[in-house]
Structure 1
Amino acid sequence: MSEAAIDQPGTGDIDRMMLPCGDAVIEFFVKPPSGPGPHPAVLFVHGHQTELVRPGGRWPITRGYFDRAVTAGYVAASISMPGYGFTSGPPDFCGPRTQDAVRAGLAKLRSLSCVDPSKIALWGRSRGAVTAAMVATMEPDLCAVALLCGAYDFRDAYRKTQPGIVPYIEREAGTSEEAHRARSPLLFADLIKAPTIIVHGDRDDVCPPEHASELHRRLLANGTPVKLVMYAGADHWPPEDLINAEVDRFFAGWLRPTQTGPVAASERGPA
């Protein structure tokens, strides 16, 4: 895994690569588990970051997501979205450049000898969930998808989100019909074929919870295996330990070679 690897302080035994993607380069991190492969893999897509130096794809590493995935026997990977980490180009609020960056990460994963290309899951949170849902409409071979606290109808989210987020939308994406469609997975829900878990707080004032319910409804209607976990009383940050446990169980049911789990249609989480 030495191809284009860059020794970067703070990544330890995690490989850091810069991937070509059109006229951009994408920062990509990957860590395989020990033992012979090929292994299932999870690609993590971070959300918005407000730090002066945005860590991008390092966020899942420092939050312990890589360690959890590797312990479960998965290859852990993440990308930095445009505007974050060392990926080139400005942010485009979950738009085509960000979606292309995620797809470049998926393509790289599929090329690695340590990865089973038929067992790749996509995990996204907030902006990452919007992006992951859009990518899932274009990548029918994904094994599983986890969508945490995302907005799935761009125009509706623009009307309902916190006032402080509106300038980001206007500056990075614009508000045209084209911008709306490019960031609205609800419009293309029939193209999502991978088993999907949708996690949300029912008092989220950043990403409307009704979007999660409607995406769940449409995926059910289309016959896509899907589970909705809605946490009562939770805002944009439901309890992380509970979310991790839910997603771990869901991924285990689809990523482990001996399992293809049926999933519950919906579930209410604790406050």
Structure 2
Amino acid sequence: MTRPLNIDDLYRFAIPANPVLSPDGDRVVYTLTTQDAEQDRPACSLWEVRTDGGPARRLTRGPADAAPRWSPDGTTVAFLREGRIHLLPAAGGEAEPLATGEQEHGGGVPVWSPDGTRIAFAAPACRPDPAAPVVIDRLGYKADGDGAFGPVRTHLFVADVATGETRQLTDGDFHAGPPAWSPDGSRLAFSASIGGDTDVTGASAAYVIDVDAEGAMPRLTGPATGLTGPVDWFADGTALLVVGRTTVSAGHLALLRQPLDGGAPVALTGALDRNVMPGGPGYPGALPQFRGGDIVFCARDRGVTRLYQLSADKITEFPLAEGTGVGGCSVAAKAGRAALLVSDRSSFGEIALLDLDTGSTTRVTEHTAEALPGVTLHPATEREFTISDGTRVHGFVVRDPKAAPHGPLLVDVHGGPHNAWSPHADPVHLYHQELASRGWTILALNIRGSDGYGEAFYTAAIGAWGDADEKDVLEPVAELVAEGLADPGRIALTGYSYGGYLACWLSARSDAFAAVVPGGVVTDLISMAGTSDTGHDLFTTEIGDRDRQVALSPLSHVDAVRAPTLILHGEADDTCPVGQAEQWFHALRVRDVPVRLVRYPGASHLFILSGRPSHRADYSRRLAGWVTGHTALRTAGADHD
């Protein structure tokens, strides 16, 4: 017997991530996240699976173990436990903290030196006093999930593995990005925004610092006028591999070769015309890694993060099974294999082994099937629509194949604005499966601005949020109505973050929607620019002109909104501050539009991905209840008329 997925299944999820392959290629350590209902929190522990077969086994008890990294000799796994680096013997035993005694700083993702004697990491240089005034002189003074950090800066540290003795390498009014060891272990490379006005310009660059030289200062490796993300070293030690852009602008990230002599960076992946994906919450991918002289990296194409290899000037895609997406990758070059985190239409994520020579893959875990036996998912099928200006918009339709046509339709807009929907099993938007079981059709569109369709499509809504992409939603909806798949009286609209922005915008621009549920909303671009942790950089690159910020704010058009609206928002959201939701609620309430605001205490912008399970379940239940109830009311009203 099988049954469909429901919202309460959230508490049964077991989702792997962060696979790391041992240097000999024999063992994969990874994190597994479950949900602790009693404590109302996610629980994360380390697991291991052997590459020669056998069941996965648990290594640690958690509840907040993350970022495992193998030592170069394969004898030890370093990882983060509640903000401190711990060491776990690979042969078995208890994990012990790396440093003894109290540290003024916490830990960061551990990076082993090539000889395995030291670990580098980036961490706050001091512990802030929560009762002290927060003095702010520069932009970028807060971060979603952490709040305002004032003068506290993240810097580089190096710890001796044998003694735990820890030294701080960098200092100053800047944040140091994650470090990378040079091949000879004498230097660290990292990214940073160093300079008097980089908080305003948004520019960042790659730097190198000597590890053992007393009082060494970071050295700039190239132009300081671009966007620099994760860095690594080429094997000869003369250049850095950088994920970034040569300008501060919206567009694809690329792989860049940055010579240490200060020369101009060289783009390595421009011919692909796809966005390099180093990985992050809600943005599946993996850091680029070397395989001899080749580079293995991730980029997104048509909603799916794929795995590629750059060999000299040639880029080829690894032939994974159709529809398989990659959310993590760890290369053991000497073993000729990689460990992958893969997702598809039936699994939220599993660990697989990739033969780097043949391209063949073998799954070595089945956590989704084991956690949810007998549960089936309503399928996501691809659709493509031609918009009136000739633009082709790709997306996915989720519905029960047995559902009758002419039923209710939910349109869901993704965030970003440069994210994208995928066809994979979705552990976040559980209301999709819940509503599909009730006879709904869900339309998830990768409108212009979405990632995975080339840079021209990626930048097509720059300076024109709402204006440029509203037809990408409204015209496909009209097409589904014309086909008879959707009932025009029972159409609802939702979206989160940028999707919340567009849901508010469209509710003022169209009367097609019987109910609207914006989450993590953006409603006033002027106040958003000055209160969001990313607002200044976002609107400098995305909108720019103040007059456009006013014109493109949903709040400027709120008089036209009539649809019953449920607003869902985290109270500790520093990316889209809760004031955005409060303004929309106030504007609708005083205009007598049916409206409800739900605030989730302590919830950051990413709470729908990794927050309290009770909040995430509540989000899906409220959304499903609102759209079901108000579309039924609208239909009943029409029938009565």
Q: Is the 8 A contact 1:44 1:124 kept in 2?
A: yes
What is the RMSD of the two structures over their aligned residues, measured on CA atoms?
A: 2.7
The correspondence for 1:144, drawn from 500, 504, 515, is 515
What residue is the counterpart of 1:217 in the other structure?
586
CA distance in 2, matches of 1:72, 1:195: 21
The correspondence for 1:154, drawn from 525, 535, 549, is 525
What residue is the counterpart of 1:244 in the other structure?
620
Q: Is the 8 A contact 2:516 2:566 kept in 1?
A: yes
Deviates more, 1:107-116 or 1:85-94: 85-94
Equivalent positions of 1:15-30 (< 5 A) are 15-21=381-387, 22-30=389-397
Q: Name stretches of at least 5 consecutive residues in structure 1 with no aligned partner.
A: 1-5, 262-271
Cα displacement (A) at 1:91: 5.1
Task: Give the aligned length.
Answer: 249
CA distance in 1, matches of 2:423, 2:459: 18
The correspondence for 1:47, drawn from 385, 393, 415, is 415
CA distance in 2, matches of 1:60, 1:68: 16
Deviates more, 1:164-173 or 1:210-219: 164-173
CA distance in 2, matches of 1:213, 1:260: 30
What residue is the counterpart of 1:170 in the other structure?
540
The alpha-carbon distance between structure 1 residues 110 and 258, as it changes in their structure 2 partners (threshold 3 A), is closer
What residue is the counterpart of 2:47 in the other structure?
none
Please report the TM-score for the alignment, with normalisation by the length of structure 2: 0.36
CA distance in 1, matches of 2:538, 2:633: 42
CA distance in 1, matches of 2:513, 2:493: 7
The alpha-carbon distance between structure 1 residues 166 and 226, as it changes in their structure 2 partners (threshold 3 A), is same
Structure 1 residue 180 and structure 2 residue 550: aligned? yes
What residue is the counterpart of 1:70 in the other structure?
436
CA distance in 2, matches of 1:171, 1:48: 13
Cα displacement (A) at 1:79: 0.5
Q: Percent identity?
A: 22
Q: Name stretches of at least 5 consecutive residues in structure 2 with no aligned partner.
A: 1-301, 305-321, 324-343, 346-378, 608-614
Structure 1 letter corresponding to 2:411: L
What residue is the counterpart of 1:82 in the other structure?
448
SS in 2 for 1:78: strand
Please report the TM-score for the alignment, with normalisation by the length of structure 1: 0.81
Structure 1 letter corresponding to 2:398: K
Q: Deviations over 1:100-141 (max 9, x none)?
A: 322233223322312111100001100000011101111113
Structure 2 letter corresponding to 1:78: A
Structure 1 letter corresponding to 2:600: Y
Q: Deviations over 1:46-82 (max 9, x none)?
A: 11178xxx5x122796244432221122111110132
The correspondence for 1:32, drawn from 382, 392, 399, is 399
Structure 1 residue 113 and structure 2 residue 477: aligned? no
The alpha-carbon distance between structure 1 residues 20 and 217, as it changes in their structure 2 partners (threshold 3 A), is same
Q: Is the 8 A contact 1:154 1:181 kept in 2?
A: no
CA distance in 2, matches of 1:129, 1:49: 10
CA distance in 1, matches of 2:431, 2:392: 24
The alpha-carbon distance between structure 1 residues 209 and 38, as it changes in their structure 2 partners (threshold 3 A), is same
Q: Is the 8 A contact 1:47 1:125 kept in 2?
A: yes
CA distance in 1, matches of 2:488, 2:551: 29
CA distance in 2, matches of 1:131, 1:154: 12
The alpha-carbon distance between structure 1 residues 210 and 49, as it changes in their structure 2 partners (threshold 3 A), is closer
Q: Deviations over 1:86-107 (max 9, x none)?
A: 5535253643222232223322
Greater per-residue strand proportion: 2
What residue is the counterpart of 1:133 in the other structure?
504
CA distance in 1, matches of 2:496, 2:424: 10
SS in 1 for 2:509: coil
SS in 1 for 2:624: helix
CA distance in 2, matches of 1:59, 1:154: 31
Deviates more, 1:15-24 or 1:140-149: 15-24
* Structure with more relative contact order (C-alpha pairs < 8 Å, separation 6 or more): 1
CA distance in 1, matches of 2:412, 2:494: 5
Structure 1 letter corresponding to 2:435: A
Higher Cα radius of gyration: 2
CA distance in 1, matches of 2:529, 2:412: 25
Structure 1 letter corresponding to 2:475: A
SS in 1 for 2:537: helix
What residue is the counterpart of 2:558 in the other structure?
189
Shift >4 Å, 4+ stretches: 257-261
Greater per-residue helix proportion: 1
What residue is the counterpart of 2:373 in the other structure?
none
CA distance in 1, matches of 2:478, 2:597: 28
CA distance in 1, matches of 2:569, 2:507: 18
SS in 2 for 1:29: strand
CA distance in 2, matches of 1:247, 1:144: 10
Q: Is the 8 A contact 2:396 2:423 kept in 1?
A: no
Structure 2 letter corresponding to 1:57: W
Q: Is the 8 A contact 1:120 1:144 kept in 2?
A: yes
SS in 1 for 2:599: strand
Q: Deviations over 1:142-177 (max 9, x none)?
A: 110001011110011011111x45333222222331
Structure 1 residue 256 and structure 2 residue 636: aligned? no
CA distance in 1, matches of 2:512, 2:390: 26
CA distance in 2, matches of 1:96, 1:59: 27
Structure 1 letter corresponding to 2:551: R
Cα displacement (A) at 1:208: 1.9
